[in-house]
Chains A and B, each alone.
Chain A
Amino acid sequence: MNVDAIRNGLVIDHIHAGGGMQIYRMLGLDALDCSVALIRNVPSRKMGRKDIIKIDADMEIDLDVLGYVSPNITVNRIRNGERVEKKHIGLPARLTDILICRNPRCITTTEQGIRHIFRLVDAEKRIYRCLYCDAKAPD
């Protein structure tokens, strides 16, 4: 895979340095059959250093995961070697089935078929709380 040139796929750019691996895991990219490149510590004028992920497949990903890990990310969609879409990802207002509540008294620990939802309560400090029990999201 040529990491510079993708014909059809996604380039997840402006990940804060060190955040790439976390996104790689949370998106389950290790399970993909296509080529995936995680490029770490790329020099960046804006950010000093950043991580980039390139996925050689035109697929849908959970943008909330990206926003949660690193809120200034951009996602570029490439088709036939051209960028057809560029999305700036902000901090998501809600995280659904991304994190699991660690409060042992929370109803999510026993209720079957429940969606794990966290809501953003403080954008500045990036604090999420469980929708059900208000426990702080695990770090």
Chain B
Amino acid sequence: MRHLIDVMDLSVGEIEELIALATDIQAHPEDYREVCRYRKLATLFFEPSTRTRLSFEAAMLDLGGSTLGFSEASSSSASKGESVSDTVAVVGGYADIIAMRHPQEGAPLVAAMRSSVPVINAGDGGHNHPTQTLTDLFTVYRKKGGFSGLTVGLCGDLKFGRTVHSLIAAMSRYAGVRFVLISPVELRLPDYVREQYLDATGVAYSEVTSLDAAIGSLDILYMTRVQRERFFSEEEYLRLRDCYILTPEKLREARADLSVLHPLPRVNEIATAVDDDPRACYFEQARLGKFIRMALIMKLLGVSK
């Protein structure tokens, strides 16, 4: 039985399979409308994340299955102190597959160790969020037709941004990918991520502090939020914030075939005026997330059309 706890649990070949399946599902949704009939997805959300939960539920419903679960810890037995292990031991008796969101890092792995059905990590604190990374990869693939040779700009909070770390890990496996790491010095990529996925594999990358200077070279621009609480002082935050906000003016320097991604929710790091630009892909990215989750559920349940 397979689980998905970390996106790096999947080989390059498996990610390709998922992308191919998701592409076919999107093109021919009617062929998949019944493949998970009578199957149940349990969404165990120990902390709220409406967007992710709805994406999982829509995915299962579009496969002909049904869903059950809870959307925050206070409406579950966790509020009475039940352990993660006990919760999944019980839920495994009701559901065929589990998507778990938990504020504590490693909780989905604990669940997978105990569970009798496949467990998908739907986000564990600031640690992993593999279906977001699959969504990111699927979007890049749909926009660019592949991964090799792309120049990928990652902008904003590269220190605490887990989606950035996972995307770097996953994309560093493809030939000729180049990363441009765009962040204030305070929010640079942590050493352990750089050493493990960039230095160790010899992937080309550069670190810059200006989005303006870098934007013209990019195929992909992955934006993240720069949060106020990451800064020592309000002045510092205000001084740096604007450098990492994407505006129509900044986009003028970008290539015509740039794709702008963002894991959402956005606060102010992308001006709403950018939304109408054909290079803005973040809402399409959210839509694509459902299809890659459908492919993942099928793979883990071992069903095909």
Contact = CB atoms under 8 A, between A and B. Distances in A.
Interface of A: 103, 105-114, 121, 130-136
A108 B106 contact: yes
A23 to B, nearest CB: 28
Interface in B66-103: 83-85, 102-103
Given A105-B125, A107-B110, A132-B110, A113 B85 contact: yes
A78 to B, nearest CB: 39
A131 B109 contact: yes
Contacts of B126: 105
A106 B106 CA distance: 6
B127 A111 contact: no
18 contacts: A105-B105, A106-B106, A107-B106, A107-B107, A107-B124, A111-B85, A111-B107, A111-B110, A112-B83, A113-B83, A121-B196, A130-B106, A131-B106, A131-B109, A132-B106, A133-B106, A134-B127, A136-B192
Contacts of A103: 105
A71 B125 CA distance: 34
Q: How large is the interface on B (under 10, 10 to 19, 20 to 34, 35 or more residues)?
A: 10 to 19
Candidate in A105, A107, A113, A121 with the most chain B CB atoms within 10 angstroms? A107
A107 B84 CA distance: 9
B148 interface: no
Contacts, number: 49
A111 B109 contact: no
Nearest to B195: A122
Interface of B: 83-85, 102-107, 109-110, 124-127, 192, 196
Contacts of A131: 106, 109
A106 B83 contact: no
Given A105-B125, A107-B110, A133 B83 contact: no
Contacts of B84: 107, 111
Contacts of B125: 105, 133
Contacts of A136: 192
Contacts of A106: 104-106
Nearest to B105: A133
Given A107-B124, A133-B105, A133-B127, 19 more contacts: A103-B105, A105-B103, A105-B104, A106-B105, A107-B107, A111-B84, A111-B110, A113-B83, A113-B85, A121-B196, A131-B109, A132-B106, A132-B107, A132-B109, A133-B106, A133-B125, A134-B105, A134-B127, A135-B105
